[in-house]
Amino acid sequence: MIMKLNALQAGFNLDHIVLESPYPNNLARFYKEIIMMEFVKKNKNEFICEGKNRKIILKKGKKNTFSYAGFSCRSKKNLDQFKNFILSNNVKLSEFENNHFKRGSFSIIDPDENIISFGIRKKNKNLYKYNLCMPLQHLTLSSKNVEKFQSFYCDLLGFKITDKVVHKNGSLATCFLTSNHEHHTIACFKSDKVGIDHHSYEVGKWENIKILCDHFSKKNVKIIWGPGRHGPGNNLFIFIEDLDKNWLEFSAELEIIHDRKFKEWPHSEKTLNLWGRGILRS
Ligand SMILES: [Fe+2]
């Protein structure tokens, strides 16, 4: 019998995100200095920026453009059984090869033509000195059709829906899904723009948000949204922009999910920020 595991059962973490930029070398410097990526290496046309449990790859291209992302799981066995699951749902594998994973990774193309890879993290021998723990945690995309996004990621890949934000007419404004115990590892906002909305690092506790705010202040990087608390996920957050105006979130106290049913939230400012100003995307 062929063993199958959906994305949640296989247990995936967001491993890396690849962004395009007209000036990837300048952006790499920003990630090194401001996001404390201690190791930056150039490999062909890519700048690979790495900190402990966080990796952002920058390559030459169009500003604010999502290239691809990778989700990793712990074992080859889980990865292979997840592959069985998606193949049994007739999800097509892409020919794209992601060389930021060990051999045996595979990629899919979602309904908005985003490339998402699944694989096993390559071991690296870097010794990280910076001790604030802030792993790359979630990727939020934007789409004209969140319903399609939701059914692809939930029904075909087996991510679990944890919360939905719903317009007055019943259509979806946002969907949050997870592939592990954290509230969401991927989400999608309805928008006229298709691509990336933001990516997020989880810093664990409130105290670390304060440390980061002071760090950004020293570097003259403004907080563009927050501190606040999201409704879905109940996490504390701040947002900054990088040099290309990509949005970066730093989150703390993100809800841990113990098998609860998803909740529906109204599309309102308060859902996006229980404490104050919300930025509605649609
Ligand atoms: Fe977020």
Whole-number Å distance, alpha carbon 233 to ligand 1 midpoint, is 9
Whole-number Å distance, alpha carbon 199 to ligand 1 midpoint, is 6
65-72 β-sheet, strand order: 39-43, 46-51, 54-60, 13-21, 65-72, 115-119, 106-109
| CA 257-260-264 angle, 5° bins | 105
pLDDT 10s digit of each residue in the chain, 282 long? Answer: 789 999 999 999 999 999 999 999 999 999 999 999 999 999 888 999 999 999 999 999 999 999 999 999 999 999 999 999 999 999 999 999 999 999 999 999 999 999 999 999 998 888 888 878 999 999 999 999 999 999 999 999 999 999 999 999 999 999 999 999 999 999 999 999 999 999 999 999 999 999 999 999 999 999 999 999 999 999 999 999 999 999 999 999 999 998 899 999 999 999 999 998 888 777
What Å distances lie between residue 113 and 66, 94, 148, 199, 246, CA to CA?
11, 11, 12, 18, 19
pLDDT of amino acid 183: 98
**Cis ω for the linkage preceding 227 (within 30 of 0):** yes
CA distance 199 to 135: 11
Ion ligand 1: residues, CB < 5 A: 140, 200, 249
pLDDT of amino acid 259: 86
pLDDT of amino acid 143: 98
Largest CA distance in the chain: 58
CA distance 211 to 172: 35
pLDDT of amino acid 126: 85
Which amino acid is residue 178, in one-letter code?
Answer: T
The tokens for 49 are 């920026």
CA distance 5 to 2: 10
Q: How many CB atoms lie within 10 A of CB 26?
A: 14
What Å distances lie between residue 122 and 14, 70, 98, 184, CA to CA?
14, 12, 11, 24
154 three-state secondary structure = helix
Full set of structural domains in the chain with CATH: 7-119 (3.10.180.10), 136-272 (3.10.180.10)
Whole-number Å distance, alpha carbon 269 to ligand 1 midpoint, is 15
Whole-number Å distance, alpha carbon 259 to ligand 1 midpoint, is 21
pLDDT of amino acid 217: 98
Whole-number Å distance, alpha carbon 215 to ligand 1 midpoint, is 20
Whole-number Å distance, alpha carbon 121 to ligand 1 midpoint, is 23
Whole-number Å distance, alpha carbon 176 to ligand 1 midpoint, is 9
DSSP 155: I
pLDDT of amino acid 44: 86
Backbone angles phi, psi at 208, to 5 degrees: -70, -30
